[in-house]
Structure 1
Amino acid sequence: MLSTMLPSCVSAEESRQDLVEIELFPEEEAHVSNAVSQRRAEFTTVRWCARRAMGRLGLGPVPIVPNRRGAPGWDERLVGSMTHCRGYRAAAVALKSRVHSIGIDAERNDALPPGLLESIALPSEQAWVRDLLRTETSVAWDRLLFSMKEAVFKTWYPLTGRELDFEEARITVDPEEGTFRARLLVDPGTELCPQVLSGRWHADEEILLSSIALTVPAPVRHSAPHAVLVRG
């Protein structure tokens, strides 16, 4: 499912079950040595997903250690993103030469708790969420908006090193095409992060997924000048 939402240059792996028998690197083990079983399971399985995705790029497994913000620390050749929720784990990676940043997020297809929509959504976002909740009840649109904003943050943060509040990105969604756009309402301060981010979303009965991949533009190739024949 996730691989169909991302460009072909991005390698993705997902799992609906935990794989707790996977051996962690010592650096990774240090982060979950005292964790409860559920936390350890999601931490381990999502790293299994990352290793599988890296293998498709021809790269061997390396430790993926969370930084101070909790974001995964990738091999210097890579960009990537991880996500997990109840019943779903996934990772997506790409070479830095092909992709500037990736953001993926998974959530359960369940409504947000009462009152939370107002704390994460701009008035225009609240309007389209409520309209869609009235007409298309198979998708928890409020939770999907939250997922999209998480994907935006995961794309933004590695490029800027700065926090991004919920109200600093305005989301619009295309419910028919499975796409969304996020207009940043603050200056990213880097040419690598455009003011408008385009992403894709997917929903099934259990899981909501949002994804963004900022690919590196192909170099502009200039054609050779035409020869001019001069007759004397």
Structure 2
Amino acid sequence: MMEELLPESVVAVESHGDDGTEAAPLYPEEQALLTRAVAKRRREFATVRLCARRAMEKLGVPPAPVLPGERGAPQWPAGLVGSMTHCDGFSAAALARAADLASLGIDAEPHQSLPAGVLDTIALPAESAGLARLRARTPAVHWDRLLFSAKESVYKAWFPLTGEWLDFSEADIDISVAPTPPGATPSAALTGRFRARLLVPGPVVDGRPVASFDGRWTVKGGLLATAVTVPRTPARSRTLKDAIRKGS
């Protein structure tokens, strides 16, 4: 589900429901964070970290603890960027080398409407108008929840680059729907893209000010997922890759 939203440079690993990962072992540093956690929290915490360690292995990086840092953001091994998400019955982690991407953010949510009143706290007027148009065109999607998820992915990509909070009102998101392929079945996934225009000064990536984040979304199997990637400039990417090769 996540891999289809991300470029080839990103490794995504996910867990669906009861697939045996609930008993995933934790490092002592991780275990110490769960002394008062309920069983559900412990299971989600362990499962999403097992996904992260499997992603590390696929990238050829030794598995390591994933501890929360400032504002709970996961702390990755040097040279990696990544993001994690979990909701009922689903966990996922996505990792990439910092030479390939500056940052990324993923989010998964149950495909359900937001609780009453929440949309009013997260949506700008232009976003609410956009959701109304999308709802009229494609009523099968819970667009309020999709907007929330997109903003979560934007924040997860934003924070590692800035170390600062980004309020829901500080990114204006425009969502689009991909055309339905000819012959697609009624159960086929709905997909699309979104652009988050930053309403505050954005981060500087490789000397380039970033004014917006681009992302993708999908809805299928009772879930919706969003992902944002922040690319490096081509010249910077080549420089980092050359440095890594020379140091190996």
- Show CA shifts across 1:200-221 (max 9, x none): 0000141110001112222289
Name the SS of the counterpart of 1:188 in structure 2: coil
Counting helix residues as a fraction of each chain, which structure ranks higher?
Answer: 2
Q: Following superposition of structure 1 onto structure 2, how do residues 46-85 of structure 1 map, counting pairs within 5 Å?
A: 46-85=48-87
TM-score by length of 2: 0.85
Give 4+ residue runs of structure 1 displaced > 4 Å after superposition: none
Hey, what's the Cα distance between the residues in 2 that align with 1:4 and 1:124? Answer: 28
Output aligned runs, 1:189-200, within 5 Å: 189-191=203-205, 194-200=210-216
Note the alpha carbon deviations across 1:51-108, whole angstroms, 9 max, x for none.
1111111011101001131111110111100001111100000111111001001111
| Contact 1:84/1:105, CA 8 A, preserved across alignment | yes
Shift of 1:131: 2.4
State the SS of the aligned residue for 1:150: helix
- Measure the CA separation in 1 of the matches of 2:205 and 2:12: 26
What does residue 229 of structure 2 align with? 213
Q: Is 1:25 aligned to residue 27 of structure 2?
A: yes
8 A Cα contact 2:203 2:210, kept in partner: no
Match of 1:89 in 2: 91
**Which residue number corresponds to residue 151 of structure 2?**
149
Amino acid corresponding to residue 69 of structure 1 in structure 2: R
Cα deviations by residue, 1:175-205 (Å, 9 ceiling, x for unpaired) = 1251100000000242356111111000014
Ranges in structure 2 where 5+ consecutive residues have no aligned partner: 180-191, 239-248
**Counterpart residue number, 1:171:** 173
| Count of aligned residue pairs for this structure pair | 221
Counterpart Cα distance in 2 of 1:165 and 1:97? 28
Q: State the SS of the aligned residue for 1:174.
A: strand
Shift of 1:136: 1.7
Query: Which segments of 5 or more consecutive residues in structure 1 lack a partner in the other structure?
Result: 222-232
- Cα–Cα, structure 1 residues 32 and 198, in superposed 2: closer, same or farther, change >3 Å? same
Report the equivalent of 1:226.
Answer: none
Question: 1:187 aligns to what SS in structure 2?
Answer: coil
Matches of 1:43 and 1:79, distance apart in 2: 19
Which protein shows a greater Rg? 1
How far off its partner does 1:130 sit? 2.1
Structure 1 residue 23: deviation in Å?
A: 1.1
Equivalent of 1:39, from 21, 38, 41?
41
